[in-house]
Structure formats: structure tokens, C-alpha cells
Structure 1
């Protein structure tokens, strides 16, 4: 209900008369009869205010005019582009960094020229179909791009792909003046837009992007519930076509055999070798029948007089596709008039174009040198995608205008696709804070599982012959499910014979039989003394002797400072010196951009020539940026020395498991060295000869968990909650019934057929479900022991995907609620409680971590101006507000992790271009995997404050209700 003032402003010339006074009096009398006094009623506050004037005579005209004003001049440009034809794809490509324009003339002649951006007749192109290729394994930046307009073809090549060792990958693609109205077409074009240089500016651009994937979804898309049925139908359809194709090939081969037999029989009859007793006629009749059958299948191809009859066999598949599509033409199935969202499916549906995307996998797996070697093929592939995308656009855009004719629809699509998110240095602090809290909590869980594994090995020691020496693992329902076959633990598992010089190069505390006094126990309980003095890690001893020595600055301090380049931790090897790995594969290395072009490697990274410029431009990050800058400038005063010792102490006190999981600390030399009470290394004492000790045996399950892993020391125990042994070490039960793992049915729980104490703990719903359900049967050979388990029945854990689905892990996110409710319990201590606590606190970060870390953030610097105001002259936060925000942040940090340290950071600003799909659902709702997901910020949920990291620059403000 609107007040009269608002009603008169919105609905012009539509006044309502006051009710007759007689009716008003009757109403008042009724209220009085029931004891209701209108004078005592509450009065609503006035909502009258002056609205902006309507853009027209009514609301319909108002919104139509606004839609037209926002859509101009982009709708006319898009309509012209949908009617235009692209020039032919060039036959050859010129390899040079930046944009190359390929001219085409009507006589077939053409030439190319280098241009700063797509332009024609000295003006930026106003209509482009655009596609970008990247190598995600190395970095998110573009390596090449193709664009096409009605005037010419354009190709952009990154300097990095032409010479990775001499150029930085930090290159974006320029499209021309941001003040020119431009329409850009692409398939999932938001991915391409994030690689355009002009889009990273606070003033925005007049570029508008039309996504052929969104347009397809709006007119012929399918919902997530329809997708499985569509995939199944497509597969069945293709299988039917393949079957018919095979049948026709069989007829062709049979016809070929009959023709050969016929020719041979005729020659034999002519030469008098055989008598014709009607066999010749039978072969002729068979030949005619086969030809007639084949002609029926190929009749459609015969209607094309230009068809090459020698290609009949190759065209059979196409003929069958057409024939299959013509079935039930009077009533097509819904699967025939829709498709998935990929360019392959959309092009086939709308344009009947078949394209192959196999070459796309090369960008995921190949090295830069391999891409460069065949770059002409990859440019042609990208250009083919551009041509296909334009063909799709010519079909789907007119259909979209017909389905959504209102100009507001078009304006909404283009507006949703042109937003950006400003962030400042708090973005990095947020990621660093969330990562540290998560790693700390995750490290506690990992350490708890490691302790349980070591405790199990100590409790049930094994020997070479008769299984367990002490303890009875067979009587434990959880331990008995692990393989206790004895295996000799050797050097690959961190066990060295006495006197071996490499014994100190391993982390001795990784050995489950290692004692706290510098010795390890064998299966015969003998001990070998390894150290008679106090031991500290080798790197720590070196640093304490001289914190600013050459060795410390070159080899130790870069790791303690946690230096990273482009979010990749720095690594050091004697051969490659300081470098980083763009992907998870440590064999693929990249040198720092400040490294010499002559191929000289970086031996000292903390130097003016290397870390100083990289830290200043933000491409290199550090745990303590200020200290890294001081060291890069060569500072060696007492304050610097004190800060270095503080940094070393922090690393030295770190949990060993967390240290080995840390990409920087794991590179330090943790081998123990003896020191006296003053910290001075003690001289090595020649040890007396020790008799050869018996071998050390571990159970096979523990031996498997410590198998050698690249980048980890020998004996590293690799166990997480995703490991199958974790529920067994935790000794988890479901409502008092122990969990058992089945090869056939996944995780199940065991119920004794005779009454037990667990029966009284069972809730009525579970008791009723067990009464109605049949026990599981086991047919897999690995489950023979379960099939022969007399006195017990086995039932599946209830699962969200239904009773037929197997539970892969009872420690998964979907089972956290059962652990919180006490349905899942552990008999091994408080580790399950800690695991649940981590699961609750880190559930958001675990699920969103990869998407957040992969956000493509570009920071403003002197070489890349984004238009942010000078922070020294403008501010948009009051001191009280800033203090309040800092207090909340400190409280949240203290709640989640005690060891989290806030790092002071220099003020800086950057932009994220979100990859929004303007119409990602059949209801034409915009989707974005990170920023448009519903999540509430809570102090006990790590990383849930994500959206608060979008900050208004100085002098700006955000209206969060603007698009509500």
C-alpha cells in the first residue's frame, strides 16, 4: 500500500475518491461497538518523499526508456554484428609480440601489420568476436588471443610465450580506448574479459560483453536436473548411429566380397572350368539386393549432384545422423532442441557445426616450448573458435531478442558483465590469515593421527616371523583391519645403521620407535645412542653463530622470510639456484624476471638487483616485507639482527609435522647437531665400534604410509583424514557399533547378533531401520573375512545419496553433524573432537580455498595505473570505525588460532574482474562460483569474511542494496 503522495507520483492521473462519509461513520460505529478506539491506535511513520520524476507517462514507459538509454548504442552494434560476415581466416600467421592485423581483399590478396590494438581506419574496432588461450598450470595470464571484426582478423601473442626466460608472464591484452562504445562477443566471455587490460581501471570502460553461452542458456538451456537425462539420451543416440554405421559397413564389405566372387565365377565359367547351374544368377540376385539396400541408406547423398561418389563410405555417418534426426519430426523430444553449454554442444545445436576441442588439452599439459613449437596450429585453433563463436552469435542473438524483447533485459545482461571488485592490501592479509589458521588447525589433526599411528606401532611391535611380539591386534576390531605383515624399514624409511654419516640428515622423530633421548629401538628393544649432547637443527646452529653471515643471507633467510614470486614459493637447488615452480611439478622451473638474460642463475636473492625491485612492485611477497626490504638493501644493524633471530626462533619452535609440510621450512637442513650450553657446536667424538643390530620391522600398513615422497625426508608419515587408515586409528563407531571397511560396500558398521551394551544406546529410528533392512552380503574376494564373520551382521552407513551409494569416508563433511551429535564416536581419545572442530571452523575455507586463491588480482603500480585516488589525501573510514573493525578482526583471529600473526602491509590497491555468467541458469539468473554464492560471515568460520574484502577506494562508497 502506497501513501497518497507516493501513489500520485507513480500513477499519474489516477486519483481515487475519498469514501462516502456515511460509510466512514458506519465503520467507526462498528469499532465502537467492539470497544476499539481509533484514537488509541499506533500511527505509522510518514513515508512520503519526493521520487525522481518518471521517465515517461507511466511505469512501463519509465523502465522502457531507462532500458533504452542503457542499451544504446550497444543494441544497434550487436544487431549489425549479427548480420555481418567475418573475413576468411588467414592461411599463415606472423609471430611477433602484441597485436598483428591481417588484412583481406576481395581478390584474395592480403598482408599483415603490427598494431597496438584492434583498429580500422585509425579508429578502434567497435565490434569484435574474441577468444583467449591460457596455460593454467603456469599462470592465469593470456598467452595468445584472436579477435575478428567485419574488417579484419587480429592475433595477439604474449612476449612470455615467445621467450619465457626473458619476459614476465604479467601481460594483459589491450583492446583500445576505454571511452569508445564497443561490443565484444565471446563464449564464456567473462573469462576472456578478465585478461583485457582496460577492464582494470576504476573509471570503468564503455566495453560491453555478450556471452553466447548465456544467450544459449536463456533460450535453449537445460537445468541441472535435466542434464543427466540429456547426456544419457545423447549417448544412446550416438550409440544407435554407430550401430547403423557398423551395419552399413558390413553390407559394403559383403557387397565387395560378392562382386569378387561374381567376377571369379564368370571367368571360371568362360574358361570352362565349372558348369553354371544357376549359381551365377544367385550371385547376381544377391548383388542387386545388397546394392538396393545400400542405396536406400545413401539416397540423401545421391540428391547432391556435386557429391563425390568415391566418398560414399565416409559420408555414411553424416547420412545416418540426418536420418536419425528426421525420425519423429512431427514431435521432437526435448533433448533434441537443447544442449549443454560448451561451445562444442552449442555450435552443434544451433549451427550444426562439428568442432574438436582435443587440442585444448595441450594448453593444460604442454610446456611453453612445446606450445611455441606448434604455435601456428594453436593460433588456427583459437581462430576457429572465434569463427564458430560468431556463427553461434548470429543464431542465438536474434532468438534472444525475440524471447526477451524488452531493452531492460539486454541492459541487464551487459551491465552484469561489466562489474569489477576493488581490493586493497587486506586481501593478501585475509588470505594469509586464513591459510595460517587452516594450516595450524589442520596440522593439529595430522599430528594427532601421526601420534595414533606411532602409538599403534609401539603397542603392537612386529618381528620377521611370528607376527606380533607384544599386544593382540587380532582382538581389536579396528586394528585387525590393517595389514600387520612385517616389512623391513631401511634407509628409504629413515632408518640408518649406526655410524652411517647420513643418519643425522633425517628427522629422527619421524621414526615411531625413536626415543626422546637420541636413540631408536629395534624389535629386540635394544637402543643405540646417537647423541650425548643437546641437539638443535643444523640451520639453526648456523644462524645462531652469525645471523647475518653470507651463508645465512644466501641460503637460510629467504626461506625463513617465506619469499614467493607470483604466489609460488621460492626454491633452491645447487644446480638451478633460486627459482620457482609455476606448477605443482617441481621439474618445471622458472627463473626470476630479474635474472640475467645471459642465463646466469640467482645465487643471492636478497639483493638490490633481485628482491628489492620485486618486493617494491608486489610481484614478490614475504612473511615480513619490511625485514626483507632491509636485508635487500644490505642493512646489518642490531635491529635487523634482532628481527632475524626472532624469525628463526619462530621457525625453530614450529611443530615438526607442520615444518615438513611447509614449502619453505622443509628446504632447511633439520639434521641435528650437538651444541653445548652456550650454543657452540661440540666437536665430534669418535665412536666405538658397535655390533651390527638386528633389522627394524614395521607393519606393512605403516610401511606403506611412509613410502618415499618427492620433496619429503625419508620416513615422512603421510596420513590425513582422507586416508583409509584414519577411521581405523581413531577407532570410530556408529552408535556404539564399530566401523568396518568393505571393498564392495565401502564403510559399514558391525552389529552383534547377540544383545550387547551398544543396543541400549541405539535410537529408535536406527533400531527400526535395522529391523526392516537386510544385512549386507559380501561377494568380493577381498571381503571373504567379512562374509565368514559368524555372530555379526553388517549394515551400510546412512548416506545422503541413498542406500545404494557407498560411503567413501566417514570423516567427510557430510558426516560432521553425526560426530557433533555423538552418533559417530571415537575410542582413541580427543582426536575426533579436534577433527570435528577443524571441520566446522574450516568447512568454508576448505570448499572455497582453491577458488579464492585462484582469483586473478591485478595490483596498481607505476607501470599499471588503475585510477585509484591518492590514499594520503582522501579517506573513507573514520578512526573509530577502523578501530572497531580491527578489534573484531583481532577477536576473530584469537578465536580461530592462537599462533596467527598479523603482518603489517604497505597500502596498495588492486582490482578483481569476477567471471560472472550473466544468465547461467534457465531462470536467467547470474552465477559466479565465488562471489555470487550465499555464505554468511561468522567468527568461527575461517575465511567466511570474503566479501568484506571488497573495499571502496578513498572518496568512494558502496551501496550494498543497489542490486538487491
Structure 2
């Protein structure tokens, strides 16, 4: 709550009464929200704030942003031109200045604004070997003492290996401005940046400026690559042009004008875009820094330094042309200062960082070794169990299709020859070559990535053994097909049941598997597979209430009863025990009740009825909820068996080997329904392992197998984070400071630790962040800004806890709850002029999880999903995703969800949230070619967002940041109704507004730190959260500084929004 005195101070007025909006209350009531529900209201809090500069919060903010950015804008204004590049360079350690044809040594560059670039010998260390800087007055070359040293190269980096920019420590607070392309890479090689106390140096990144001005979406980037390489037969290119032209009715050249106003992000591409000329230097010289040695650099010193100098020259020329565009498109000083602050992140560490890596690597190696040993044991067990003359492997649902062939008995009587002659081929393939020298090591080549691993682990998907089809890859087999012709002795036998002759499918039969080496005949253990199937089918038919699902089916069809009759007939011919057959048939009769197919007119169907048995088994009760259940995504066209593998169905015919009694159901793939899965132990399946959908089969006979398999699955999950992130962690550049460079509080702690025999060092990591790495201007960094939160079961996921404040300091931070949703709700509420006046705004402001009135719970209840899944859907929709992506996410959340069911749920969700898209009528009643959303909880929000996204010059509401040139209406030639780029532009409005909010935080924090002389600096910002490193003595002040003003500024800028007492 805001006290009236604060309200008057911040907004230049005090409002004590608000009129009730009947229209807003009606809208809320329509969507089941009660605006008049009584609630407890706390008394407003009052505290003293610093005097405002101006009459309200916005004027105050504009003033302090201008003051903070002024020193750096003035420095940039001094950088008019560069001298000519020197003809010859001196190989002298440290800095050498080059002015008017002469040179002299300096401690650091003399000017305060510089264009800068460094080069590193990748094979030796991440420390710089040379660096070049240029100002209006001089060129500067820095040569590493390491380059001329005769000592062996070291991977570690010390402060002495870094470039220095300040000649006098007393002037560290003096403002300096360093310009570079991906300048955070160069910043990480500057000595002063590792000191605990911040300097006045800030960095301007031309890559970030370019992405703000002319950045590309991920789709545009791929299209740009295809265009630059003239890959016009590229599928992505052809699909884009076809869809774009079908919507616009325009030619290729007209539709793709944005390509001319954008480029990729490398310095060469950016230079060509803004300077309209070819780069100066030959990039082939770069290979020396990537693969060469110190001797190679010394031998070609002049050319390599000139190469670096040309990078500086191109960066300067690019900046000169780019800066004008940036200032025009991003006029608010807070945007520029926020960009400077984002490029000034600082992560304090100590020796725990080294210990963390060593522990994680050791544990990861142990997990891998443990997995390998467990898999080796399973391979040995499988060999011992099935390597006899009885060929028992032919009755194993997992191992039957391995290559059990053995070599001919050798004439050689050596021990190795005799042993190898008794080993099947699949086992021999797991022994290192040459086999005769390593056979005693056993199957030591085995890994969890191999196709044999899921078979040895006896993995199941929802109770059914996994099956590998050479063409369709991993999935499960769905029994129910009837081999043709009926009665074929290859597949059928005659039996007498209850004194009557009966035709029954054989318990096992021959199938053919084709590989590059040729074809082989295998015995498929049908009866053994059915032992798992009978438990699954009974659970689906009896345990999940299918009777009610059948009775309440959508659009009852005469074929429904026929399909269940087909299921009954297929069960009757399966080689099952008689009591099992009777039990399953009884369940089928229970579903159909007194239904008699004699009363059903046999209709001509688009495809044989029994072909739907696979779909019915996969979907269970959900099958009956699909009105198109007999079309299988292929309308009314019947597809011959030989072509069915091309369909995106949940079940299809087996291919290689072809098993005539079963359909194939592929494992779920994030890329789309029916897409092949290469490995069920890959990362996307870890969520299914955790949920129990992917599991090991129980097997009492092979005691201990369950525990072994489960242990491997648990180890795979535990190792997943470190497997993905370890390389990024190990390549982080960190530097420990010498004792005399540390703050006094840290030095005292060091002395105490040394006296106790403990050695601890303190330093920092400079995260190599692209301050504006996406078109929405969000920061990008591959480790710290992408790593998920810590989980006890994921090795290494506690990495963020390794950022540790040194003694006497602490970390203070805050994040914004549902930041993008709050901003979007304000934009929507601004239309009605009252915060919480729209359903979306009210649910954001007053929604209660306990009462089921918050955004995520409402969505979850609407379509029957988890609240955590609803949260993902809500954010995805806000970021511009449409119906297709919603269907994709629903299918990902619920792996047994049929595509039609996903479509139905997605449509329900979109109607309830975004509403219906209706044409707008003019005052004369004529239809305008514009559309708006209506009757949804989010209709106001998306109408307001689209109004910004479709405007001739889309800008953020708060700081007036303009959209990238590649997405402006002029570039993409938008019309008023449909746009291929509209989702990207809506995403930009929301996320770029969130970046505005972040920049506001950084500006206000910088001003308060400066005003009250707080010993604090930005540590890191991860999207909607910020962390500051500060002296423990001022921690409370820093925490308080993060609280006031920030949301108030955003709300004040959206001028029509009236702040309620309740907020």
C-alpha cells in the first residue's frame, strides 16, 4: 500500500476515493472473478525518501538517468576520428604509445575514451598475448610479458598477465569509456576489472548496439544464412517464402526487404552492413591465435598486430555509423546507462570454485565408471543366462533381436581363440580391438548411448518392453494385428479349446530383419511379449474407467462397437492363457454392455476397422473423446501399408523387422508426433524417467536387475547437468588477486587463515555477457544466465552458490514476481484506465492460488493440467506463441495425449484466454480490415500489445525503445490482419518492456549508491532478478534501495493507470 503522503510526493497528487467501474466489474464477473470480495487491508507504510528532482517520479528519474550517463556520453562525443595505423610495431612488454610516427612507453593509455581489442593464444591460455587500443590522438599496443618469456606456458592466469588501463590507483573512480565488439571478452582481460572495488570504467559493445538496432530473430537468422549462401533450395527458405507469399500475395524481393537492413553479429558482417564496404584484413591470420604458439606470434608479429589493429579500425568505423542510429532509436539516457551497467557484472569467487570443479569432475567420472561397470555386469549376466545351446534368448522380449551368431570353431587351440568362438557377435562388438588381446577385459566399450543399453536394462514405456525398429527407431509394440492370410501356418496353429477346434497365433514365429550386411531371420517371442501386454491392456480397459469414457464418447459412431468386437476377436486368437482371455473379453463386454452388432448396419469405412486397434490401445479412454478417431490424422484417405511409415501417427505398422501381429508406437519426441527417437536415455527422457513412464521391468528370476537398472537411470539424471555444462564451467576465465590488491577486511582474514594452516584465495570471474544479446535486449551468456536452479539430484547444479562474497562483504538481491505478466497486465489495464480493471489485471493483482483465482490455477483447472504446466503455457502465450505451439507443449506435458485431443484442449484454452478474433467495424457499420480479440480473460492485454506491435513505429511504453529494423512494418511489409512476424513483435513488446524495467532498477540503484556513498556494485542480473555485492555494514541500506520507486515509475508512465489503495 502507498501512504497518501508518498502518493502525493511521487505522483504530484493524492486521491482518496475511486469510483467503481461497472463495466470492469461486469467483465470480471463474466470470467468468474468477484471484485467485491472482502479482504484484509494493511495500513499503509510511510518512510522518508530522498527529495525528488522535479514534480513527480518520472521527472526525477529522467534527471538522474541523464546525470549518470552524461560522463560517458561526453567521452563518446570526443571520439571523432582515429590516426593512421602505425607502419611498424615494437615488441616491447607492456603499453607502447604511437603518436605522429614516434613511439614511447606508457603505464596505460592516456585518453579516457578508447576503441579496444585483445588477442589470445587459445592453445596456451586465456590470457591476452597482445592488445591494441586507439584514441583520437594515438594508437597503443600492449604486449604480454608471457609472449617474450622463456618459461613454459601456463593455463592459469594471474593479475600480472592482464592489461592495465589505470596508471594511478588513486584515480580508479575516474570515468573511462572502452568501445569494442563483444567487448566483455576484452573486459575479462583487463586487470582493474577483477578488483573488488569498482572502477569508473564502462564498456560499450558494438555487438549489443547492433542487435538493438538491426538484430534478427532466430528464424530470420537462419533465413539470412541461407540467403547469404544462396541456399534457395533450403527447406526453411522455401517454406518461409511459400507461406509468406501465400499470406501477402507479394513477390520474393518485396517480401524479404528486411534482409538488406540486417546482418549476423560478427564484426565482419556488422562492418559490411553499416559501412557498406568490404573488411580490411584477411581473417586467415586468425588461425595463428587459434592454433599457433608464442613462437608463431613472434615470427609474424607485425602482421598479427596489424590484424588486431584493423579490428579496432573496423570497430571504430562501425561504431561511428551505428551510434547515430542507436541514439535515435533509444533516446532515453536510462537505456544507455542500463546497457553500461549490464556490461559491468562481477562474480566474486574463492578457492571453493576450484574445489567445486574438482569434486564435480570426480563425481561425474565415478558416475560414468559406475554406469559402465553396471552395464558390463548386465551384459555379462545376459551372456551367462542365454549363451547355452537351448537358445533361451529367443524367449526374451528385449534380447531376441540381438546378433547371437558365433564364429566358426578355429583350428587354433589357443585360449583366446577358444573363448572368442563361444561369444556372440553383439558381445564381441563390445570388446576393444584387437579382441584377442582384450577379451579378458570384457564388454568394456559399452556406454549408455548404445542401442544395446536399453535392452540390457529391460526398459519399458508405461509397462511395455521397448522395441528398436531399424527404420522407426525406439518405441513399443502394440499387439492386435491379425497376420494375413488368416490360417497361414507360418503364424497360426490349430488348437482344441472347450472341445472345439480353434485357430490361434503361434507363441513365436520367424521375422526378417534387414541391415547393411544383409538380412537375417529371427524368432519373435510373441507369447512372452504378451505377458507384459496383458497387464497393460487390462489396466487401460479396467483400471481407468473406460466404460464411462465409452458411454460419454464424442459423436457416437456405429464403428465404435465394431472396433471393440475386433479387439475381442484379436484377443481370442492370441496365445494367452485361457483365464486371461476370458478376463479381457469380460472387460470388453462390460464396456459395451448389451450392445449387439447385429443391429448395426455395416457401413463402408475409409480404412479397415481393425487398423484403429493400435490407436485405441495407445490412447485408452481418450480415444473416444476424438470425433475424428477413425481418420488418424489422414482424413478419409486410406494409405497402403507400405507407405504408412511416413504418417505422423501414434501407432503404425512395424517396418524392420516387420512383425505382422503388432503395430509400432514410437516414443514421444519433442520434435513432433511420430518423429523417430534415437535414444530413450537421452536428456529429453529424463523427465519421463523421473515420472516413472520410462522404467525397468520387474524380473524376479534375475534378482537385482531392477535395482541395477534403476541405479543407472538415477545416475543418468544426476549427471545430466554436469554433462551439459561442464565444458562451459571449465572454460570460465577466473583470476585470483594478490594479497595487497584485496580489501583490508579480506587481508585480515587471510592472515588469520594462514596462521591456522588454511590457504584460501579470493578473486573474481568477469562473465562474458552480451549486454543486449537478443532483439528484446535481454543479456545473453552461456553459463550464468542459462543455468537452472540448484537441485539436490543434479550434479553441479549448485554452481550459482559458488559465487561467494569475500569476508566483510555480502550479496543482496531481489527479483520481481511474475515480472512480464505484471507489465502486460498494466499495459492491458491502461486501456480501461484502472489497475486491476481487466480480468488479466485482476488475476495478476488479486488472484489467489488458494482460492483458485490466480492466472496459473485458472488455466490448470480449465484444461486439466498441472499448475506448473499451466505457468509455462501462460508465459508462452504472452511471448507470442499461438495454437500450434500450445498443442506442442500440451503433447509434451501429457505423452499419451492424442494430437486431436491436444488440439481440442489448445482451442479451449485460446478461446478462454485470448478470446475470439473478430473484425472491427467502423462507425458506419462497415468492416475495417483490422481485427481485435474479444470475450477472453486476456483480450484487453493482447489488443493493447498488438496495437503497439502493429504501430508504424513500435516502441516500449516506458523508455520509448524502438524495435529492431528487421521487424519494423516497413521492413517486413505487414498488413493489418495477418503477420508471420507478429508473434515475434508481441514477444518484443513484453520482454523489451521487462528490459526497460531492469534498466530502471540499475539506474536508480546506481544513483542511490552514489548519493549515499554505499560500498556496493552490481554482481549479476538474470532476467527478472538482480544481485549486488556490498559491504556488510550497508547491506540493509542496499536492500532498502531495491524497494521503492521501481514499479511506480512504470505505472506512472502508463498515464491512464490509477494506483489503487490495494496495491
Common fold: TM-score over 0.5: yes
Q: Who is 2:75 aligned against? A: 77
SS in 2 for 1:131: strand
Q: Equivalent of 1:88, from 80, 84, 87?
A: 84
SS in 1 for 2:811: coil
Deviations 1:499-550 (A, max 9, x none): xxxxxxxxxxxxxxxxxxxxxx8686xxxxxxxxxxxxxxxxxxxxxxxxxx
CA 1:718–1:904 in structure 2 vs 1: closer, same or farther (change >3 Å)? farther
Contact 2:469 2:655 in 1 (8 A): no
Residue-pair matches, total: 615
Q: How does 1:588-627 map to 2 (within 5 A)?
A: none
Counterpart Cα distance in 2 of 1:55 and 1:728: 72
CA 1:719–1:385 in structure 2 vs 1: closer, same or farther (change >3 Å)? farther
How far the C-alpha of 1:208 sits from its partner, in A, is 0.7
Counterpart Cα distance in 1 of 2:145 and 2:406: 57
Deviations 1:202-260 (A, max 9, x none): 111111100011101111112234333333343447899xxxxxxxxxxxxxxxxxxxx
Q: How does 1:496-535 map to 2 (within 5 A)?
A: none
How far the C-alpha of 1:475 sits from its partner, in A, is 5.0
Counterpart Cα distance in 2 of 1:239 and 1:98: 52
Deviations 1:268-321 (A, max 9, x none): xxxxxxxxxxxxxxxxxxxxxxxxxxxxxxxxxxxxxxxxxxxxxxxxxxxxxx
Q: Who is 2:278 aligned against? A: 354
Q: 1:810 and 2:680 equivalent?
A: yes
Q: Who is 1:443 aligned against? A: 369
Q: Who is 1:99 aligned against? A: 95
CA 1:136–1:328 in structure 2 vs 1: closer, same or farther (change >3 Å)? same
Contact 2:178 2:201 in 1 (8 A): yes
Q: Equivalent of 1:344, from 268, 271, 279?
A: 268
How far the C-alpha of 1:343 sits from its partner, in A, is 1.8
Counterpart Cα distance in 2 of 1:444 and 1:99: 53
SS in 1 for 2:706: coil
Q: How does 1:670-749 map to 2 (within 5 A)?
A: 698-707=423-432, 715=441, 717-749=444-476
SS in 1 for 2:97: strand
Q: Who is 1:853 aligned against? A: 730
Deviations 1:612-659 (A, max 9, x none): xxxxxxxxxxxxxxxxxxxxxxxxxxxxxxxxxxxxxxxxxxxxxxxx
Q: 1:766 and 2:541 equivalent?
A: no
CA 1:697–1:209 in structure 2 vs 1: closer, same or farther (change >3 Å)? farther
Contact 2:476 2:667 in 1 (8 A): yes
Deviates more, 1:951-960 or 1:835-844: 835-844
Q: 1:954 and 2:681 equivalent?
A: no
Q: How does 1:192-341 map to 2 (within 5 A)?
A: 192-236=186-230, 333-341=257-265
CA 1:378–1:449 in structure 2 vs 1: closer, same or farther (change >3 Å)? farther
Contact 1:344 1:357 in 2 (8 A): no
CA 1:765–1:787 in structure 2 vs 1: closer, same or farther (change >3 Å)? closer
Counterpart Cα distance in 1 of 2:39 and 2:461: 59
Counterpart Cα distance in 2 of 1:778 and 1:523: 46
CA 1:444–1:934 in structure 2 vs 1: closer, same or farther (change >3 Å)? closer
How far the C-alpha of 1:70 sits from its partner, in A, is 1.5
Q: Who is 1:187 aligned against? A: 181
- State the structure with more CA Rg: 1
Q: Equivalent of 1:380, from 303, 306, 316?
A: 306
Counterpart Cα distance in 2 of 1:157 and 1:215: 29
Counterpart Cα distance in 2 of 1:363 and 1:480: 54
Q: Who is 1:66 aligned against? A: 64
Contact 2:72 2:177 in 1 (8 A): yes
Q: Who is 2:162 aligned against? A: 172
Q: Who is 1:931 aligned against? A: 784
Deviations 1:691-719 (A, max 9, x none): xxx7666444444433269xx99948133
CA 1:787–1:842 in structure 2 vs 1: closer, same or farther (change >3 Å)? closer
Q: 1:52 and 2:50 equivalent?
A: yes
Contact 2:406 2:421 in 1 (8 A): no
Q: 1:799 and 2:669 equivalent?
A: yes
SS in 2 for 1:86: coil
Q: Who is 1:132 aligned against? A: 118
Counterpart Cα distance in 2 of 1:367 and 1:765: 64
CA 1:745–1:54 in structure 2 vs 1: closer, same or farther (change >3 Å)? same
Q: 1:912 and 2:765 equivalent?
A: yes
Counterpart Cα distance in 2 of 1:915 and 1:188: 8
Counterpart Cα distance in 2 of 1:143 and 1:487: 59
Contact 1:56 1:62 in 2 (8 A): yes
What is the root-mean-square deviation in Å for CA atoms of aligned residues? 4.2
Counterpart Cα distance in 1 of 2:255 and 2:136: 39
How far the C-alpha of 1:369 sits from its partner, in A, is 4.2
Counterpart Cα distance in 2 of 1:822 and 1:706: 33
Contact 1:346 1:392 in 2 (8 A): yes
Deviations 1:329-361 (A, max 9, x none): 988622221222222322222222434645434
Contact 2:666 2:675 in 1 (8 A): no
Q: Who is 1:141 aligned against? A: 127
Q: How does 1:432-581 map to 2 (within 5 A)?
A: 432-461=358-387, 471-484=391-404, 486=406
How far the C-alpha of 1:93 sits from its partner, in A, is 3.3
> 5+ unaligned residues in a row in structure 2: which ranges?
20-35, 235-250, 483-529, 541-615, 624-628, 634-638, 647-652, 698-704, 815-1004, 1006-1024, 1027-1063
SS in 2 for 1:422: strand
CA 1:208–1:797 in structure 2 vs 1: closer, same or farther (change >3 Å)? same
SS in 2 for 1:747: strand
Counterpart Cα distance in 1 of 2:14 and 2:355: 58
Counterpart Cα distance in 2 of 1:17 and 1:458: 85
How far the C-alpha of 1:911 sits from its partner, in A, is 1.0
Q: Who is 1:11 aligned against? A: 11
Contact 2:474 2:679 in 1 (8 A): yes
Deviations 1:459-510 (A, max 9, x none): 455xxxxxx75644455454354444557999xxxxx999xxxxxxxxxxxx
Deviates more, 1:386-395 or 1:429-438: 429-438
Deviates more, 1:391-400 or 1:178-187: 178-187
Q: Who is 2:820 aligned against? A: none
Q: Who is 1:869 aligned against? A: 745
Q: Who is 2:709 aligned against? A: 832
Counterpart Cα distance in 1 of 2:18 and 2:271: 63
How far the C-alpha of 1:183 sits from its partner, in A, is 0.9
Q: Who is 1:820 aligned against? A: 690
SS in 1 for 2:656: helix
Q: 1:391 and 2:317 equivalent?
A: yes
Q: Who is 2:290 aligned against? A: 364
SS in 1 for 2:364: helix
Q: Who is 1:402 aligned against? A: 328
Contact 2:683 2:720 in 1 (8 A): yes
Counterpart Cα distance in 2 of 1:144 and 1:701: 54
> 5+ unaligned residues in a row in structure 1: which ranges?
21-37, 119-123, 241-326, 462-467, 491-495, 499-520, 525-693, 877-902
Contact 1:128 1:185 in 2 (8 A): yes
Q: Who is 1:153 aligned against? A: 139
Contact 1:868 1:953 in 2 (8 A): no
Deviations 1:137-185 (A, max 9, x none): 4332222222222222223333334446446463111223434321111
Q: Who is 2:720 aligned against? A: 843
Deviations 1:903-926 (A, max 9, x none): 996332111111122111211122
TM normalised by structure 1 equals 0.57
CA 1:958–1:754 in structure 2 vs 1: closer, same or farther (change >3 Å)? same
Counterpart Cα distance in 2 of 1:779 and 1:46: 67
SS in 1 for 2:677: coil
Deviations 1:760-809 (A, max 9, x none): 516568247898378786999xx998155444443432200114643221
CA 1:703–1:19 in structure 2 vs 1: closer, same or farther (change >3 Å)? closer
Counterpart Cα distance in 2 of 1:958 and 1:201: 16
Contact 1:425 1:905 in 2 (8 A): no
Contact 1:486 1:697 in 2 (8 A): yes
SS in 1 for 2:745: coil
